[in-house]
Amino acid sequence: MVNESDIKIKSTREAFGKALVEFGRENQNIVAIDADLSCSTQTKLFAKEFPERFFNAGIAEQDAMGVAAGLSTCGKIPFVATFSVFAAGRAWDQIRNGICYPNFNVKIVGTHGGITVGEDGATHQALEDVALMRTIPNMTVLVPSDEVEVRAAVKFAIEHNGPVYIRISRTSLPTLFNPENYHLEYGRAQLLNTGWNITLVSNGETLIEAFKCAELLKNKGITADIINYPFVKPFDKDILLKSAVKTKKVMVIENHSVIGGLGSAVCECLSENMPTWVKRIGTNDVFGQSGQSSELMSKYGLVAEEFVSEALKLIEIK
Amino acid sequence: MFNHDKLSKSEIKELGLIATMVRMHVINMIANAKSGHPGGSLSAVDILVTLYGKCMRHYKEWSEHPEFEDRDRFVLSKGHASAALYAVLAEFEYFPVEELMTFRKLGTRLQGHPSYGYLPGVEVSSGSLGQGLSMACGMALGLKLDKKDSYVYCYCGDGEMQEGQIWEAIMGASQHKLDNLILFVDRNNLQIDGQVDSIKSLGDLKAKFEAFDWAAMEIDGHKYQEIFQAVSKAHKLGKKHKCPVAIICDTVKGKGVSFMENNPDWHGKAPKEEETERALQELRGDYNG
């Protein structure tokens, strides 16, 4: 982690777009497919540099997935980018049957994941995408939390043979990791802070909130393990069990429904291996609404100031 | 493959024999599995046999070199006609004919709907209707990127054309000028619940393709000469107009087995023992013909 005073706010979508260009220069097999959102997803950067390797499917996400599947059979490494809600929702059957079942080498990048889509409102806020992608066999699911991790996720996706879903947010995010020494290892979570009283599990946009929560708890003499899960699937069980056996309390924070996402993955792991008290922080089986992203994060209880009291309640359970 | 304009009489006879053999496999496979889709498999047989027998650059090379990159691709978008595809692949030596009897059985490479990665000749996983044409477009784009002159043949049902994704792909194919893509539409006029026209009519399909900037033609999907010449013409039309080509094939669902013909009840039902025997008897009659 970098020092707090050095924290920069960076667009993770731009990081994705730049990474695709960077790796696209090295690997001629990388192609990109967008569904009329190339300015939003930032695949426009790739399109500008490699026009012959960029395909705009138009407003047709299902077709985009099928085209990617076909391209992969010719040895290409297709990246399909669109909003998370349209990738994981609209084109779910195409991803399941057309990409994951044959284990095709297609990479899906869902931008604008979570409630922080903001003013566009509920239709565009993907609160179920991680759940939808996680249940499909052969799929790998990544939720990176800053520009450094986004670049690493793109690099991983290129090197990994098989379908990958990467969820990126609309909002710009503080850079938490040092690009010099950040290392993303397949299926591995990362213990970023150590404590005794509670385990805070997060990824993506909310990872910074887990840190803020740990700071607030520290003021009350409570210390926390913080585990970052860039990979929701495959799910790293060992690191969670090691932490939970020590702290006995686990809180999961994610910009996603409490149903089916990282919180569910944590519960599945703990209840099968070591039943442990868990509190899931996320949207509580509700649709979002319009508003500024920061307002929505507060409204739906996704900022540390809102959920630190939940952590205190959890710790008090005997 | 097109070193001549027409099939000779002996070639037509040869295709007819292969097609009858394939039809008998289809009946046996589905009867043996006690499940499957005879109607739409039988309507596809003559087109598949002509394509694999006389049009595609494929099997000898591919069976020896599974990664043979210059092969033509075939995508069976109407994956429920898998029995026909498998029987054709077996007849063209992609795998032993005996394996056909594992169709739909636990552990088989011959899954109910085609599953990529197990059986040579199966290029994608298909059967969730409406998806194959997009995949075929992706292949056609990939082949163009690699400067290959291979063709991609896609095969859809007429009922399948009700899926929205098909029309997304139709627009994409003409947008990208995919002159290496040829789509067969198996127009047997029936879907599970009855007549396509009474459920969600496709109207003038040829005009629709043309309105979407495709070249299109209508042929009898059971006449080998017509099928062969249509593919040959499609190659020329595609190159001339820089566009994908649709070959709309008028077919008979259940073709070759009198009591299955034009009857939607045989969409997804296996024949019982006595029905199987009757069907095989008819086909044997055709074979000895």
Closest CA relative to residue B138, chosen from B154, B120, B118, B121: B154
Q: Which among A67, A72, A99 is the top mutation candidate for probing chain B, defined by the most B β-carbons within 10 Å of its own β-carbon?
A: A67
Whether residue A251 contacts residue A311, with contact meaning beta carbons closer than 8 Å, is answered with yes
Map out the domains of chain B as residue ranges: 9-288
The model's pLDDT over A62-86, given as tens digits with 9 standing for 90+, comes to: 999 999 999 999 999 999 999 999 9
Handedness of CA A260, A266, A267, A269 (dihedral sign): positive
Average of per-residue pLDDT across A284-289: 98
Q: Between chains, do B171 and A60 touch, taking CB under 8 Å as contact?
A: yes
Please state whether B29 falls in left (phi above 0), alpha (psi between -120 and 50) or beta.
Answer: alpha
Asked if B150 has any chain A CB less than 8 Å from its own CB, the reply is: no
Give the separation between CA A30 and CA A45, rounded to whole angstroms.
14
Map out the domains of chain A as residue ranges: 4-174, 190-316
Whether residue B191 contacts residue B159, with contact meaning beta carbons closer than 8 Å, is answered with yes
Contacts of B163 (CB under 8 A, 6+ apart): B129, B130
Average of per-residue pLDDT across A126-133: 98
Q: Which residues of A touch B139 (CB under 8 A)?
A: 70-71, 73-74
Token representation of residue B82: 């898998």
Rg for chain A, CA atoms, rounded: 19
Q: Which SS3 state, helix, strand or coil, does residue A254 take?
A: strand
Token representation of residue A52: 């012959």
Indicate whether this model's pTM tops 0.90: yes
Quote ipTM for the complex. 0.96
The model's pLDDT over B145-172, given as tens digits with 9 standing for 90+, comes to: 999 999 999 999 999 999 999 999 999 9
pLDDT at position B65 is 72
Whether residue A206 contacts residue A32, with contact meaning beta carbons closer than 8 Å, is answered with no
Q: Which among A59, A61, A74 is the top mutation candidate for probing chain B, defined by the most B β-carbons within 10 Å of its own β-carbon?
A: A74
Beta-strand relationship, A164-167 and B194-195:
unpaired
Give the separation between CA A90 and CA A94, rounded to whole angstroms.
9
pLDDT at position B143 is 97
Give the separation between CA A18 and CA A167, rounded to whole angstroms.
16
The highest-level CATH class for domain A190-316 is alpha beta
Q: Between chains, do A73 and B117 touch, taking CB under 8 Å as contact?
A: no
- Concatenating the DSSP letter of every residue in A24-78 gives HHH-TTEEEEESS-HHHHSTHHHHHH-GGGEEE--S-HHHHHHHHHHHHTTT-EE
Give the separation between CA B235 and CA B244, rounded to whole angstroms.
9
CATH for B9-288 is: 3.40.50.970
Q: Between chains, do A70 and B134 touch, taking CB under 8 Å as contact?
A: yes
Q: Which among B72, B156, B165 is the top mutation candidate for probing chain A, defined by the most A β-carbons within 10 Å of its own β-carbon?
A: B165
* Residue ranges for chain B with pLDDT beneath 50: none
Query: What is the H or E stretch that residue A296 is in?
Result: helix A293-299
Q: Between chains, do B133 and A66 touch, taking CB under 8 Å as contact?
A: yes
Average of per-residue pLDDT across A190-196: 98
Q: Which residues of A touch B117 (CB under 8 A)?
A: 102-103
Give the separation between CA B92 and CA B86, rounded to whole angstroms.
10
pLDDT at position A29 is 98
Report B:35-74 residues touching A (Cβ under 8 A).
73
Our CA-based measurement puts residue B63 at a distance from the nearest CA of chain A, in whole angstroms, of 17
Q: Which SS3 state, helix, strand or coil, does residue A95 take?
A: helix
Q: Which residues of B touch A71 (CB under 8 A)?
A: 138-139, 141-142
- In this prediction, residue A7 has a pLDDT band, given cuts at 50, 70 and 90, of confident
pLDDT at position A4 is 60
Our CA-based measurement puts residue A79 at a distance from the nearest CA of chain B, in whole angstroms, of 13
Do A4-174 and A190-316 share a fold? yes
Query: Domain spanning A4-174: which superfamily?
Result: Thiamin diphosphate (ThDP)-binding fold, Pyr/PP domains (3.40.50.970)
